[in-house]
Structure 1
Amino acid sequence: MRQYKANLNSLLTVNLVNRNGQAKLLAAYQELRGRLAEWLPAEVEYAEIKSRRSSTREKIEKGKSDAVNKLAWAIGAAADFQSAWGDSEVSDLAGAIFYHVADWCDEIEEAPFPLPADLKRRDILEEISEASTGLHLMICEELSM
């Protein structure tokens, strides 16, 4: 009986280690999703403010400040995600999404006031929609969910 219980303990320990590893990966993904969900609307709002001729300098600066603060949190979450997932397709796709949005943000920042019509019409959320869905599905597959 003691030997049987000893054998069970090692099996349970291995199973818990695997679950803890999965929990870390899932937590990194959830943190990234949450931070992107805060950052993207702030950037879209900033772009909308910057596209309106009636926007005051103070309103533009506040929109920019809010977006930059949310970006700082998103950068931290992206770094944690990359660290947890390492060199993988999942990590590459998450990085591609992050940098696509960051490039769009740079265009918004560098554009004159008010924003040009072509930049004003871009829908960044639509642009990353398919890749974001793909990332979610890849993570579910990797974690056997």
Structure 2
Amino acid sequence: MSWIDYRKELDFVPDSPAFVERGRLRDLSETLAKLGFRVAEVLFDNDAPNGERRLLADLTSALGAATAHAGSWPVFNDRLWDVLTSEDKAPIAVVIIGLDSMVKKNLHGFVKIVHNLLSLTEGVGLQSGEANRQVAYFFVGSWG
């Protein structure tokens, strides 16, 4: 399966990590869908108890993976492997909305989440030629 290069159609999206202004959410989601991505939108609630655990559980569900025991990085990594090696090779665009609320409250947690998502996804892809499903992350918020 060839990867979709979305950068031509979405010239307002910077290189990874793809931080996108909140006002462009509709353009982003609609264009990604037109390009052939399955768009999985996940809302991050920084005020919710155990926000990181909730986000990981929501991401696991949005990716279409088994949700049993979801909510930790090791389980997310296992489920990500399942998604990337599944027979379904349709590309997935994961659109995370609201992570910007974490920047001022918990910068370390914010960096950890963005770093882990990007590096775990790339790492799984490097471990095996079978893990060749495209998963792209877009972080939507007020970044300016």
The one of the two structures with greater contact order (alpha-carbon pairs below 8 A, sep at least 6) is 2
TM tier relative to shorter chain: 0.3 to 0.5
Q: Which has the higher strand share?
A: 2
Q: Which has the higher helix share?
A: 1
Which structure has the greater CA radius of gyration? Answer: 1
TM-score normalised according to structure 2 size: 0.35
